Every structure is written in C-alpha cells, then in structure tokens.
Amino acid sequence: MNRAILVIILFVSALLSSCVEPIHPFTKLPPGEWRGVLKLGPPKVRVEEVTKETVRALRLSDIEEEELPFNFEVIYDNDTTFHIVLKNGAERIVVNDIQMGWKNSIGKDTIVINFPVYETYLEGVFAEDMIEGYYVVPSKGNYRIPFIAKFGRNYRFSTQIKEPKEDFSGKWAVTFGVDTEEPYPAIGEFTQTGKKITGTFMTETGDFRFLEGEVVNDKMYLSCFDGSHAFLFEGKKAEDGKISGLFRSGKHYKTLWTAYKDENARLSNPDQLTFLKEGYDRIEFAFEDLDGNVVTADDDRFKNKIKVFQIMGTWCPNCRDETLFLNKYLLEHPSDEIAVVGLAFERQKSKEKAFEVLKKFKEKLSVQYDVLLGSIDKNDAEKKLPMLNHIMSFPTMIIVDKNDAVVKIHTGFSGPATSEYETFVQDFTNTIDSLLQK
C-alpha cells in the first residue's frame, strides 16, 4: 500500500476516534447485590484535635479515609433491560434511568445512573464486577465525590460476625454541633438486632430518613445514600452509657454529636416554631405555575376552600416524603373543598431549568396538586413570604381555613422513618376534618 495513503487512513481513524463517541448498548452489569462506597476523604480537622475528651471517647478509626458505604441491587426486567434498587433500612428507591455504553475516547465501558427527582447521578467506568467513578450534584457547581461499587457484596460496613458488646436500641436525646457555637437538639431512634442497626435522627427541621448500619464492639456506624443526601454517622458508647460521635454529610460538612438514653426525649412543638409576624393576618404570594401563569393566593380557585400551602424544594428528601403523604391523602380523601399548592424554592441557575426540574418532580411522583415556582434560589423564601417570622425548614406546611385565616404552620416533617409519622398523619387528618365541618 502506498505509504501516503496509509498515513491518511491512520490520520482519519485517529480523528474519528477522538471526535466521535458512539454508544453501543449492552447489558453486562451482573444482577444481584452490590456494595458501593463514597470516598469522603480524611476530615480537614481530625476528631482527635477537637478536645482531649473526644480523643478518649471516640478513637473512630475503623473506616479508612472516611468511607460512606451503601447497598443496591441490580434487577433485570427482561433479557436486555434492568433497574437498580437503592437500599436504606426499610426504604427501597427504584432507579431505572441508566445509560451504559462504550466510550471511544477512553476505550472503556461507561455507565451513568440518574437518580429520580433529585437531578443527581453516578457516573463511572464499568469493568466486569466493578464500577468506579463519581457521584455528581450539578446544582452545587463542581460537586463530585469519588465512589467505587463492587458486585457480590451485601454487607454494609464490615464482614465481622462477632456479636457486639453494646446495644444501642431505644430513644436517645441527641445534641449535634457540640464542637460549634450553635449546637442543636435531636432525637435518635434505633433498633438493633445482633450487629445490625437501623433508625434515624429527628430534628426540629426534619429527620435524617432511613439509616442503616452495624455495631462493632462498642461502636455504631450508620449511613444513608438516597441520591440526594449522603450521611455517615459514627458513635461510641462510653462506660457511663453516653454516646459521643461524628456526623458527616457529603464531603464538606462534619460535626460532633453526643447523646444519652431518654425514652421521654422531646423536641419543640413543630406547630409553634413558625408564625405570622405582627401586622400580618394572611398568606399572600404571586408565583408562576408550570405553564408560566401567575397564581396568587387571592385567585378564585382558593375561594371558600381549605388551603394547604407547602413550602418545599425538589432537592429536599423530607419535602419528597411530605409530597408523597399529601398525594396519598388527596387520593384517599377526594374533596372539592380542599386546595393543596406547592410553593417551590429551588437551587437552579435559570428559571427554565427550575421549571424543567419541577415538571420532572411532578411527573415522577404523580403529584396530585399544582406546584408553583417561588424562586430559583431557595434562600429567597423569606423575602418572597415576608409575613412569616422565618423559613426555618423545608418543608414548611401552612394550613389556612375557608376564610383565609391561618390555622396552623407546621415546621419540618417527621417522615415514615420516624415514630412521629403516624402521629402527624392523624393530627393532619383531624385538623382538616374539623375545618371541613365548619
């Protein structure tokens, strides 16, 4: 072959391989149990550097480089398609938006796992029984956490089979942020069977949803990864029965926490934390719906109806839980006398992107009510709703009677992972029932 022609062929081949990246679908992800690990990296300040008391109490060095483990299962729907199920305690999150293919530019098989609702994803390289890559949160800029997942591993923290020395079951009065100037209260609820432990933490702004982990000797380890939040809790029980621990959320936030057992532990009443400022007697807003139409609190659609205004954001798992509750309530209690509206405060770069996310949220969760865009910046909530003393939590639920008087403002949401959930459901039902009878 003429040497000049050969050079041209090689040049064109190289050009095509570098510029064109065709995707060739394949179904080689092994079905069954997988164990993933988010590599949070070493904390910027070691626990041992905080106080001498912390050194004696913790010594939490069992997890190398602060790894946050999670579990998922690959399930094939047929010979060619499959979905993934994330597992956190009793919770199961189905993920079916998965893209796989060969990428010429790197010469490897790749995978992208898009989480429903939250606009986050895992991207990585796949080889036989392992995936390695990053967890990505686009709305936070270049927020990426390295991760690795391996097939055939169904344990969470360790393979140790030895029975633990301590039992963390029960209710605990917790203080987070003991190493800061603004500590805040919480309640821990844990159930332990052998070395397995599940539970959650409730705070005045919401709960940490479904946590799962293990107890090794006198130490507890809990984690949660639901596509939005990445939580890691470590705690050690001292001889006096108290717990000292470390909490990490993602790769940037960490704080110390302490706890003592108290079956009577209580938080502030969630119906008394947010209220109307002096001089205001009603809720007012003017936000766009998903079709770009301005909706106000004075619209005819709300006249002579009980109103439930849900201050929320698609990025917020507690808001997702509350939305599912409201959906269920409306389906089980259909009434023309009740109007539910979501007031969304997002964290997007443009209104167009925020509308896109809200439409996807409404579709994925089959939301039974209208959702309005309050702002593309969640920090604008207090400015857009100046009649409230503050927006302490997403979600915040405002119940208004048929005469537009505010009946109740509920801060936060204790979801199905908590013992308070059924109490909230009953209280909400009783409140609406009483208003319907007036």
CA dist 170 and 105 (Å) reads 53
Cite the beta strand spans of 346-432 per DSSP E: 370-375, 396-400, 406-411
Domains for the chain: give ranges and CATH numbers.
Answer: 20-151 (2.40.128), 170-261 (2.40.128.120), 286-436 (3.40.30.10)
Residue 116 confidence (pLDDT): 83
The residue assigned the tokens 């209710």 is 171
Residue 26 confidence (pLDDT): 41
CA 207 to chain centre: 10
CA dist 270 and 348 (Å) reads 29
Residue 159 confidence (pLDDT): 86
Do residues 313 and 346 lie in contact, with contact meaning Cβ atoms separated by under 8 Å?
A: yes
Do residues 357 and 119 lie in contact, with contact meaning Cβ atoms separated by under 8 Å?
A: yes
Contacts of 260 (CB under 8 A, 6+ apart): 172, 173, 241, 242, 243
CA dist 59 and 236 (Å) reads 9
Q: Which tokens is 6 given?
A: 């050969």
- Sign (positive/negative) of CA torsion 425, 427, 432, 433? positive
CA angle 233-238-244, nearest 5°?
30
CA dist 378 and 371 (Å) reads 15
The Cα diameter of the chain in Å comes to: 94
* pLDDT tens for each residue of the chain, 438 residues long: 555 444 444 443 443 333 334 344 445 789 999 999 999 986 444 444 444 444 334 444 443 458 999 999 999 999 889 999 999 999 999 999 999 988 888 889 999 999 988 889 999 999 889 999 999 998 888 799 999 999 999 999 988 888 899 999 999 999 999 999 999 999 999 999 999 999 999 999 999 999 999 999 999 999 999 999 999 999 999 999 999 999 999 998 999 999 999 999 999 999 999 999 999 999 999 999 999 999 999 999 999 999 999 999 999 999 999 999 999 999 999 999 999 999 999 988 899 999 999 999 999 999 999 999 999 999 999 999 999 999 999 999 999 999 999 999 999 999 999 999 999 999 999 999 999 998
Beta strand 130-137 with 370-375: parallel, antiparallel or unpaired? unpaired
Q: Which of 117, 270, 275 is nearest to 202 (CA)?
A: 270
Q: What are phi and psi of 5, to 5 degrees?
A: -65, -40
Residue 382 confidence (pLDDT): 95
Q: What are phi and psi of 407, to 5 degrees?
A: -95, -40
Residue 65 confidence (pLDDT): 59
